[in-house]
């Protein structure tokens, strides 16, 4: 089987998960009668430190439901310009949720409190109002970067002062908690809504959780149904989510070590640029310098050559590659992948 570093979404459910799925107690979750879904929602809320949680089919749907609850249609959402919500959710924010992105540039994925304050529109008859702020932790396109309270709190303070609700796209919040050695609840405190994925490093085949107050989750159920996300005997997949939530967090450190191993190996290769000290979680983003020949962008060329070595990885820009570690790539696979990169780059 190939070594798949494209994403942590590629894992397949293991035997324990499949067994739990086969044996799941189920009911109609649109009627709120699926005991396995209810259990998952309780466990997710406890982990996030919120009153309630809702099982949603994807992180994208969870993010969009949250924005729909926090921001009125026609308002602007402030976020780091490179966030997932703006770039990888098919413009759902505009097309379905009815909101306008107001991207602010940042050095490392987290906008500064000053830039957020500047992006809030003054009350004028010709300016759209600002509806919400959304942050991403860990930050995908910033190489899985992690933000602790010293970075988050000043943003939450600005938002509170300006009466701006704040969503956390915490697709990989468990990775952030592991890297910082704190609880997930610690990192979600102060946000109005939080989304995290079961389907990434935690290892479930499907599903994400939206966590918030009891009141907002009642509304979230209605929006989920409107978007076609009302699932019936969803306990079959929620059972996998329960196993992911129980067993997944404990092994994320391993993924982080593997990412670090990859980063340190890559940093030694002449045409590669990255700082391994910046790799804190399970994402490694690096640049490949172009050769003085060839007609294909260097990252595309590397991806193609790696696939010939049975290593799958994504080019996220003409000269930029992303490797993501997960439970289906062990240390030996990482070393093999490094060998394949070295060979592909002609070393
Ligand atoms: C993966 C991801 C999501 C959600 O993606 P889905 O594929 O819709 O589950 C949201 N935000 C970030 C930062 C992500 O990496």
Residue-wise pLDDT tens digits, 290-336: 876 667 899 999 999 999 999 999 999 999 999 999 999 999 999 99
pLDDT (mean) for 210-230: 98
* Centre of ligand 1 from the C-alpha of residue 197, in Å: 7
* Centre of ligand 1 from the C-alpha of residue 9, in Å: 9
Q: Contact at 8 Å (CB) between 94 and 102?
A: no
* Centre of ligand 1 from the C-alpha of residue 29, in Å: 23
Q: Which pLDDT score, from 0 to 100, does residue 294 have?
A: 67
Q: How many beta carbons lie within 10 A of that of residue 157, not counting itself?
A: 12
| % of the chain at pLDDT higher than 90 | 97
Cα–chain-centroid distance for residue 172? 5
Q: Which pLDDT score, from 0 to 100, does residue 124 have?
A: 96
Q: Which pLDDT score, from 0 to 100, does residue 292 have?
A: 66
Q: Contact at 8 Å (CB) between 238 and 37?
A: yes
Mean pLDDT (the chain, rounded)? 97
Backbone torsions φ then ψ of 84, nearest 5 degrees: -60, -40
| 3-46 confidence digits (pLDDT tens) | 999 999 999 999 999 999 999 999 999 999 999 999 999 999 99
Q: Is the pLDDT of residue 347 over 70?
A: no
pLDDT (mean) for 100-110: 97
| 269-296 confidence digits (pLDDT tens) | 989 999 999 999 999 999 999 876 667 8
Task: Name the DSSP class of 122.
Answer: P
**Distance separating alpha carbons of residues 306 and 324, to the nearest angstrom:** 15
Q: At what angle do helices 15-22 and 235-247 cross, to 10 degrees?
A: 140
Residue list, ligand 1 pocket, CB within 6 Å: 58-60, 63, 84, 136, 140, 169, 171, 197, 199, 208
**Distance separating alpha carbons of residues 331 and 1, to the nearest angstrom:** 15
Q: Tokens for 15?
A: 């035997």
Q: Is the pLDDT of residue 50 over 70?
A: yes
Pocket test for ligand 1, best of 56, 169, 198 (most atoms within 8 A of CB): 169
- Please report the atom of ligand 1 found closest to the CA of residue 197: 9
* Centre of ligand 1 from the C-alpha of residue 320, in Å: 20
**How far is CA 11 from each of CA 36, 204, 213, rounded to the nearest angstrom?**
22, 8, 31
Q: Tokens for 123?
A: 């009350």
Residue 50's H or E segment, with its range, is none
| 226-236 confidence digits (pLDDT tens) | 999 999 999 99
Q: Is the pLDDT of residue 240 over 70?
A: yes
What is the residue whose two structure tokens read 């003054």?
122
| 137-147 confidence digits (pLDDT tens) | 999 999 999 99
Write the CB contacts of 66 (distance below 8 Å, at least 6 apart in sequence): 134, 167, 193, 195, 210, 212, 220
User: Reduced to 3 states, what is the DSSP secondary structure of residue 179?
Assistant: helix
């Amino acid at each position: 089987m190939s070594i798949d570093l494209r994403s942590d979404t590629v894992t397949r459910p293991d035997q324990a998960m499949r067994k739990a799925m086969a044996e799941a107690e189920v009911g109609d979750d649109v009627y709120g009668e699926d005991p396995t879904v209810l259990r998952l929602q309780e466990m997710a809320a406890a982990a996030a430190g919120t009153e309630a949680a809702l099982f949603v089919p994807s992180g994208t749907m969870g993010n969009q439901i949250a924005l729909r609850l926090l921001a009125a249609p026609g308002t602007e959402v402030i976020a780091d310009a490179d966030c997932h919500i703006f770039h990888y959710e098919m413009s759902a924010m505009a097309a379905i949720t009815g909101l306008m992105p107001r991207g602010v540039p940042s050095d490392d994925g987290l906008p500064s409190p000053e830039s957020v304050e500047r992006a809030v529109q003054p009350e004028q008859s010709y300016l759209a109002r600002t509806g919400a702020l959304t942050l991403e932790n860990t930050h995908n396109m910033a190489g899985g970067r992690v933000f602790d309270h010293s970075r988050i709190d000043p943003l939450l303070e600005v938002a509170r002062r300006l009466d701006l609700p704040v969503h956390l796209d915490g697709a990989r919040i468990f990775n952030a908690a592991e890297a910082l050695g704190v609880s997930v609840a610690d990192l979600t405190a102060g946000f109005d809504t939080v989304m995290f994925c079961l389907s990434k490093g935690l290892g479930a085949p499907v599903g994400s959780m939206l966590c918030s107050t009891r009141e907002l989750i009642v509304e979230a159920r209605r929006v989920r149904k409107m978007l076609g996300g009302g699932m019936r005997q969803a306990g079959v997949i929620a059972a996998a989510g329960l196993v992911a939530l129980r067993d997944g967090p404990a092994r994320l450190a391993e993924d982080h070590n593997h990412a670090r191993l990859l980063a340190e190996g890559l940093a030694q290769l002449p045409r590669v640029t990255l700082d391994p000290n910046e790799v804190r979680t399970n994402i490694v983003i690096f640049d490949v310098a172009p050769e003085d020949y060839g007609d294909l962008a260097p990252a595309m060329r590397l991806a193609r050559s790696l696939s010939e070595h049975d290593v799958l990885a994504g080019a996220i820009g003409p000269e930029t590659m992303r490797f993501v570690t997960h439970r289906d790539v062990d240390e030996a696979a990482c070393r093999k992948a490094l060998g394949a990169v070295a060979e592909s780059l002609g070393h």
